[in-house]
Amino acid sequence: MQSCVKVLIDGSSSDLSFSYLIPDGMEVAPGSRVLVPLRGREAVGTVMAVEEVDTSVLSYNMKPVRKVVGSQPFLTPDLLKLAEWISGYYMCSIESVYRTMLPKPARGKEDKSKKAKQVRLPAGVLKDSAAGERIPKTAKKQVEAFEVLREAGEGGFLLSEMTGVKGFGRSTISGLEDKGLVEVVDVVVSRDPTGGQTFVASQPLTPNPEQQVVLDKIKKVSGKNLEKAPKPILLYGVTGSGKTEVYLQSIQHVLEQGMGAIVLVPEIALTPQTANRFKQRFADIQDQVAILHSSLSEGERHDEWKKILNRKARIVIGARSAIFSPIENLGLIVVDEEHENSYKQDTNPRYQARDLAVVRGVLEKCPVVLGSATPSLESWKNVESGKYDLAEMLLRVDDRKLPLIRIIDMKLETRKQGGGLTILSSKLREAIEARLADGEQTILFLNRRGFSRSMLCPQCGYVANCRHCASTMTLHQHDDKLVCHICGFSQLPPRKCPECGAKDIVNSGFGTERVESVLKEFFKGARVARIDTDTMRKKNALRDTLDAFRAKKIDIIIGTQMIAKGLHFPNVTLVGMLNADVGLHIPDIRAGERTFQLLTQVAGRAGRGELEGEVVVQTFTPHHPAIQFGRHHDFIGFAEQELALRKMFGHPPYVHMTLITARSKHQERAEFSLKTLHLRLARDLPEEIVMTEPLPSPLVKSHDQWRFQVVMKAVNPRKIATHIRTVMKDMTFPEDVIVTFDMDCYQMS
């Protein structure tokens, strides 16, 4: 019997694995990355299992593993189990899951660590107090450099530091080298995603009674080696109730038990602020805080991930992919703003990071805390059914009041202002002027970037549509471009109507760019900044803008969803929601839920300091339940009504919903492929499953591809997955037709 490994080769969409012998002296474990021979070339793959094989009965010679990449397994045993669960539940290949779990820089044949030259004194020279006497007194620079390095001790300095900040020439270092007094060696250096910031240590705050009850509940089940996984805890806390402080003190408790923690945040915008708070609180061990999100460079992401892999980092903060961090001895997982749609991956594998946090908690017998001021209805129903425990924080810290929310009916406001486009109501304009006079700050929210939503001709009805998608193009005036927000295609805006030649082509609707220009026109001298993906392209631009706002160098911020949640600015006393109807009237069962959540989260940015806050919500549908329940900060009332409707019509969270989409550049092929699949699925369809007829997607064309869809619903999601797999075993599709399966889908378009 000989030891061999079962290796899944990178890029193997069919999930075929191959067996290889383990050479004598080579240590390989499940989760290791290995270099293996494959059809006359070298390939990299992931070890799925280590097995014993009797090679004498094989009819072929098994090839040996050539090399192990890295010094230890890249995926822990529990992550391998999680990968199997994801592959089964979300109906995707195990290789696509491994690829998602491993950051891109970690997938190659060699280590991608950054190397640099370090200058230091050899151990013998450090111990020799008379070593400096070998330098002639006339060589003053060498004497000075030697003393600087002696003071630095064993670590020395990077060569770039010595020749840069320290001001020594390369010839000075070479002269000391020639005398055997210093050595220049290659070292691995870490690329710091915080940009070399310094963090002033912060101290734990004294918990108020509500916070203490929640802390006791979390500490009771965290930081221990438990026999079985505890129930996930849904932390329902109003905005400003101090949820982050609870997270910090819970993680401190976990660290004291010698365990680690993962903190998920939904938006990149929240990552720097959250990371800063954690690095301030854990300033003495800030190197043990790793940050993972998509805005990091590949090098920074590699180094942060390597810190986790090498057990140097015990706290991981990041967006949804941080749930795959290879942190061992996990003591707590926190999912902040657990209701957020951004936790759902929209490409294969289409996982929900919040749900994976719960699954990983079960696998690692680790408590999971899901925090939100507006919990998802899925989590709320799990509380009602007893699957989750509930912890509540219904008061703001220091007994601060929740902000007063005023609803402005824009139908009446538009008539009052004489018709036409109305961006700022008179009430909101007066409120902004009052804040500017008092030296207070304002946040305005509009979940639509660009200058105007579309361009149209009033003479013939022409609308500037994207040639690649079934959507209108948005004018970006600063760049003088029409841009499709679906595929990114751009073109110059027409100066006259391309259809009839009329010159009075008009801009319809408005976005953040137009609001910015209006603010600068109305409020002369006010310092205005815009936060959206157009203005935040440069590295650290978001962090720098938020820092300037915190330092009161900016009076008004206009932004998209990037500023809607989690941000804490004590001097903000006014928040304006410019169009609460964006996203409310779309064909989506979650439209009302998302609007309620967004209104509540945006409103929560106001009045977080000593001064009371005010929120002005502009809407054309002021009596919609999502608006009215949001106005009164009544989550429980909204949840009761919305859940009753969902139950009546058989919608999530009472069923699991799978969206099946066929797409192709050829409309007929996409439609025919989906109809054929639908017919096969309809045969022997289990009674527990409800399936719709095949229909065009709400966004019927995107990125030059036509899209058609079918929806399947069932109480047990495994029933859907099993039936789909059974049918798909015997099906093939044209090469240019792509069929996707989205279990627990969040977007219907």
At 191 the pLDDT is 72
**Minimal CA–CA distance to 485: which of 493, 494, 473, 475?**
473
Burial of 189: CB neighbours in 10 Å, binned 0-12, 13-18, 19+:
middle
Calpha distance 203→280 (Å, rounded): 9
Mean pLDDT of 401-412: 91
Helix axes 209-221, 243-256, angle to 10 degrees: 40
- SS3 state of residue 437: helix
Q: Between 561 and 413, where is the model more confident?
A: 413
Confidence of residue 685 (pLDDT cuts 50, 70, 90): very high
Measured in Å, how far apart are the chain's first and last C-alpha atoms?
Answer: 54
At 111 the pLDDT is 67
What lies within 8 Å, CB to CB, of 600 at 6+ separation is 239, 373, 374, 630, 633, 635
What lies within 8 Å, CB to CB, of 630 at 6+ separation is 405, 595, 596, 599, 600, 603, 617, 638
How many degrees, rounded to 5, is the angle at CA 740 between CA 736 and CA 745? Answer: 150
Question: Mean pLDDT: which of 144-148, 270-274, 701-705 is highest?
Answer: 701-705
Mean pLDDT of 401-406: 90
**Minimal CA–CA distance to 20: which of 50, 59, 80, 62?**
62
Cβ contact 190:117 at 8 Å: no
Calpha distance 220→367 (Å, rounded): 10
Weakest mean pLDDT among 150-164, 205-219, 231-245: 150-164
Hey, which residues does 4 pair with through a beta bridge?
A: 21, 51
Domains in the chain: ranges and CATH: 2-107 (3.40.1440.60), 122-181 (no CATH), 209-398 (3.40.50.300), 400-449+511-645 (3.40.50.300), 452-509 (no CATH), 656-743 (3.30.70.600)
Calpha distance 331→26 (Å, rounded): 32
At 438 the pLDDT is 93
- 228 vs 96, 257, 362, 693, 714, CA distance in Å? 30, 18, 8, 43, 29
Coarse DSSP helix, strand, coil percentages of the chain, rounded to the nearest 5 percent: 35, 25, 40
Hey, which residues does 445 pair with through a beta bridge?
A: 559, 577
What lies within 8 Å, CB to CB, of 281 at 6+ separation is 201, 202, 204, 248, 252
Render pLDDT for 384-396 as a digit per residue (tens, 0 to 9): 999 999 999 999 8
- Asked whether the bond before 653 is cis by omega within 30 degrees of 0, the reply is yes
Question: Mean pLDDT: which of 175-179, 302-306, 438-442, 584-588 is highest?
Answer: 438-442
At 25 the pLDDT is 87
Calpha distance 743→33 (Å, rounded): 29
Mean pLDDT of 78-84: 95
How would you write 373-390 as a 3-class SS string? CCCCHHHHHHHHCCCCEE
At 196 the pLDDT is 60
Mean pLDDT of 194-213: 80
Q: What is the DSSP letter of 11?
A: T
At 492 the pLDDT is 92
Confidence of residue 749 (pLDDT cuts 50, 70, 90): confident
> Which residue is listed with tokens 């038990």?
257
At 588 the pLDDT is 86
User: Residue 709: enclosing H or E segment and its boundaries?
Assistant: strand 705-714
Cβ contact 11:63 at 8 Å: no
Confidence of residue 58 (pLDDT cuts 50, 70, 90): confident
Render pLDDT for 314-361 as a digit per residue (tens, 0 to 9): 999 998 999 999 998 999 999 999 999 999 999 999 999 999 999 999
User: Do β-strands 506-508 and 738-743 pair in parallel, antiparallel, or remain unpaired?
Assistant: unpaired
At 411 the pLDDT is 92
The pLDDT of residue 298 is above 90: no
- Asked whether the bond before 375 is cis by omega within 30 degrees of 0, the reply is no
At 304 the pLDDT is 84
At 292 the pLDDT is 84
Calpha distance 563→691 (Å, rounded): 38
The pLDDT of residue 123 is above 90: no
Q: Between 177 and 689, where is the model more confident?
A: 689
At 219 the pLDDT is 92
How many degrees, rounded to 5, is the angle at CA 597 between CA 595 and CA 601? Answer: 120
At 120 the pLDDT is 87
Percent of the chain residues topping a pLDDT of 90: 53
The pLDDT of residue 29 is above 70: yes
The pLDDT of residue 464 is above 80: yes
Calpha distance 726→721 (Å, rounded): 9
Render pLDDT for 166-199 as a digit per residue (tens, 0 to 9): 888 888 889 888 888 888 888 877 776 666 666 6
Weakest mean pLDDT among 82-86, 376-380, 745-749: 745-749
At 631 the pLDDT is 92
Calpha distance 212→194 (Å, rounded): 32
Weakest mean pLDDT among 19-33, 183-197, 396-410: 183-197
Give residue 98's identity as a one-letter amino acid code: Y
The pLDDT of residue 284 is above 70: yes
Write down the H helix ranges in 183-295.
209-221, 243-256, 270-281
At 155 the pLDDT is 76
**Minimal CA–CA distance to 491: which of 470, 464, 523?**
464
At 195 the pLDDT is 60
Calpha distance 125→263 (Å, rounded): 45
What lies within 8 Å, CB to CB, of 59 at 6+ separation is none
**Minimal CA–CA distance to 352: which of 748, 655, 746, 749?**
746
The two counts, helices (H) then strands (E), for the chain are: 21, 31
Render pLDDT for 527-564 as a digit per residue (tens, 0 to 9): 999 998 888 888 778 888 988 998 999 999 999 887 77
At 14 the pLDDT is 66
pTM for this entry: 0.87
At 272 the pLDDT is 67
**Minimal CA–CA distance to 214: which of 235, 238, 240, 231?**
235
Chain mean pLDDT for the chain: 89
Mean pLDDT of 599-620: 88
Instruction: Kindly list the strands in the beta sheet with 157-158, ordered across the sheet, starting from the edge strand earlier in the chain.
Output: 157-158, 114-120, 183-189
Confidence of residue 461 (pLDDT cuts 50, 70, 90): confident
The pLDDT of residue 106 is above 80: no
Q: How many CB atoms lie within 10 A of CB 645?
A: 12
At 575 the pLDDT is 93
Mean pLDDT of 10-19: 79
